[in-house]
Amino acid sequence: MTDSELDRIHIEGMSFYCIIGINDWERVAKQPVEIDLTLYVDLSRAAETDDVDDTVNYRTISRSVRDFVEGSSFGLIERLAEGVAALCLDDDRVQRVDVKLRKPGALRLGRTVGLEITRSR
């Protein structure tokens, strides 16, 4: 299947605390990060069977992301986003993932700093 033929599961508004940043003060206290995911999968089997075992369990993915993020300690949000994407692709049913990651309060002149990455298998 091509990306345009794949279905999408959206997980939006996840909020976690982790050690993230390159400044000394950022390495001491956990800071908030916000994450949205779009998982590209074939949902046709699950739609047919109505069985959670035939789909990507969004509860399982979100808990795995939470455990990874809250246990992480990276300098750059780019590295954190890359790790989240790799974690999502660990599920063989996920063919592609879009990760949006925001770090609120990173700049005095803006509400948030963020990025978006896309990774495929």
Of the candidates 33, 37, 85, 103, the residue annotated as catalytic is 103
Nearest-angstrom CA–CA distance, 119 and 106: 25
Q: Look at residue 45 and give its three-state secondary structure.
A: helix
Torsion of CA 104, 63, 19, 102, to 10 degrees: -20
Assess whether 103 carries a catalytic annotation: yes
Burial of 35 (0-12, 13-18, 19+ CB in 10 A): buried
The total number of residues written for the chain in this structure? 121
Active site residues: 103
